[in-house]
Amino acid sequence: MVRQCAPNADICLAVKANAYGHGYELLTALAYDFGIRWFGVATVQEGINLRKLLPGKNINIILYGIPQAFEYPAILDHQLEIFIASEQQRQLAMTAASGSGKILHTHLKIDTGMGRIGCQPDEALALAGNLASSPGIALRGVCTHLPLSDSENTDYTSNQITRFADLVAAMRGQGINPGIVHCANSAGLSRFPESHFDMVRPGIMAYGYNPGVLHGPGSQVRPVMALQSTISFVKSIPQGTPVSYGHRWISMRDTRLATIPVGYADGLLRLASGALQFAVGQAPNTRLCPQVGTICMDQCLVDLGPDARETAGTAVTIFGHGNAATTAMTIAQAASTIPYEITCGIAERVPRILQ
Ligand SMILES: Cc1ncc(COP(=O)(O)O)c(C=O)c1O
């Protein structure tokens, strides 16, 4: 879908935060097989892990944050590419690179409206010139980031893209080769074709979530992640039985109550207690049952209904494939957050399996 939206741009896939919680080993190998050669990470350690995962492969890894001074030797050793956002940082990078015998690949990050890392637009030309002429440093790219590409109002983002494009043109006008020009996150690449430049940097869209108020091809994605478990215990309870911490749910009828060994320590948000439906059974023979009572640290409860025949060991899909009612987006909405936080929050102890 990303390729369909941005057919002429390279793709730098964000695999930071354990590939948005999906398991970077699985996802990166899969992405490599799909022809992805650029990856975005948030920490130097994530970059090192990736390098070790695909040894000898011709991949490019960009660190999406600003490194600390002590991290430069590891960055050079593992050929990670970094954002440069200030003259002070350029000097630090140049010192680190000099004498290492290696070239540090850098991407000038311009803050055109995110307000996070990035130099001010009026500093960009001088900094680009200095980077291009710094010994030990290669100006590999110029980039910016879009904070409002998923919002209804498109004016702000359009203006940002124009300002960015003007800066890149001014660099070229001064004989500076900006290298790879990149700007678009998922919502940007889906909605603003003029943001594609040489490379797009999708994250959430590649993991199957519609990044914001999208229509058109970018909205057709399907979630990659499903969270599955099995019933660990079932019992009958009479009408009026209070259930789980705080006794926030009381059965209105005699029913069968199932325990699922998944809780907020696995990433199933306690804030979503009582607002979700799980698919019980093996697909395609599943039925939706409500999660009831407070979600505990390691367990939660499901009302199977009075006539239920399911026993311990029955499959349960908490969200994703096989559960048409619940996705990470549904859980996010129940907890007033975004799907990014749900998938990123799936705990390390939950095994990742490729199906
Ligand atoms: C610099 C940068 N580019 C791209 C992305 C991908 O964003 P999205 O997941 O919204 O596509 C991120 C995500 O945080 C980012 O920090």
The residue whose CA has the least distance to atom 1 of ligand 1 is 64
Residue 214 has a pLDDT of 64
**Tens-place pLDDT, residues 151-197:** 989 999 999 999 999 999 999 999 999 999 999 999 999 999 999 99
CA separation, residue 79 to residues 35, 52, 135 (Å) = 20, 12, 16
The residue whose CA has the least distance to atom 14 of ligand 1 is 203
Residue 68 has a pLDDT of 96
Residue 99 has a pLDDT of 84
Quote the CA–CA distance of 186 and 269 in Å, as a whole number: 25
Quote the CA–CA distance of 46 and 246 in Å, as a whole number: 40
Residue 217 has a pLDDT of 67
**Tens-place pLDDT, residues 287-334:** 999 999 999 999 999 999 999 999 999 999 999 998 989 999 999 999
**Tens-place pLDDT, residues 244-300:** 999 999 999 999 999 999 999 999 999 999 999 999 999 889 999 999 999 999 999
What's 179's DSSP letter? -
The residue whose CA has the least distance to atom 6 of ligand 1 is 203
Ligand 1: centre distance to CA 201 (Å): 6
Ligand 1: centre distance to CA 271 (Å): 25
Confidence of residue 342 (pLDDT cuts 50, 70, 90): very high
Q: Which of 201, 225, 342 to mutate to test the pocket of ligand 1 (most atoms within 8 A of CB)?
A: 201
Residue 283 has a pLDDT of 86
Which residues form ligand 1's pocket by a CB distance below 6 Å?
A: 14, 40, 64, 145, 185-186, 201-205, 211
123 pLDDT more than 80: yes
* 9-29 exposure pattern, b = at least 16 Cβ within 10 A, e = fewer: bbbbbbbbbbbbbbbbbebbe
Q: Which of 46, 66, 185, 214 to mutate to test the pocket of ligand 1 (most atoms within 8 A of CB)?
A: 185
Q: Which of 1, 10, 64, 219 to mutate to test the pocket of ligand 1 (most atoms within 8 A of CB)?
A: 64
For residue 340, the ligand 1 atom closest to its alpha carbon is 9
Residue 309 has a pLDDT of 96
For residue 20, the ligand 1 atom closest to its alpha carbon is 9
Ligand 1: centre distance to CA 259 (Å): 37
Between 93-102, 215-224, 282-291, the lowest mean confidence (pLDDT) is in 215-224
Ligand 1: centre distance to CA 105 (Å): 20
86 near 124, Cβ under 8 Å?
Answer: no
Residue 210 has a pLDDT of 84
For residue 185, the ligand 1 atom closest to its alpha carbon is 11
**Tens-place pLDDT, residues 10-41:** 999 999 999 999 999 999 999 999 999 999 99
Q: How many CB atoms sit inside 10 A of residue 194's CB?
A: 14
**Tens-place pLDDT, residues 99-121:** 899 999 999 999 999 999 999 99
Ligand 1: centre distance to CA 185 (Å): 5
Who's near 218: CB < 8 A, 6+ residues apart? 1, 5, 186, 187, 189, 190, 191, 205, 210, 211
127 pLDDT more than 80: yes
Quote the CA–CA distance of 276 and 274 in Å, as a whole number: 6
The residue whose CA has the least distance to atom 9 of ligand 1 is 203
Confidence of residue 220 (pLDDT cuts 50, 70, 90): confident
67 pLDDT more than 80: yes
For residue 12, the ligand 1 atom closest to its alpha carbon is 4
Residue 270 has a pLDDT of 98
For residue 189, the ligand 1 atom closest to its alpha carbon is 11
Ligand 1: centre distance to CA 115 (Å): 14
Strands 300-303 and 287-292: antiparallel
Residue 142 has a pLDDT of 98
Residues involved in catalysis: 16, 245
| Arithmetic mean of pLDDT over the chain | 96
Q: Which helix (H) or strand (E) holds 199?
A: strand 199-200
Ligand 1: centre distance to CA 241 (Å): 46
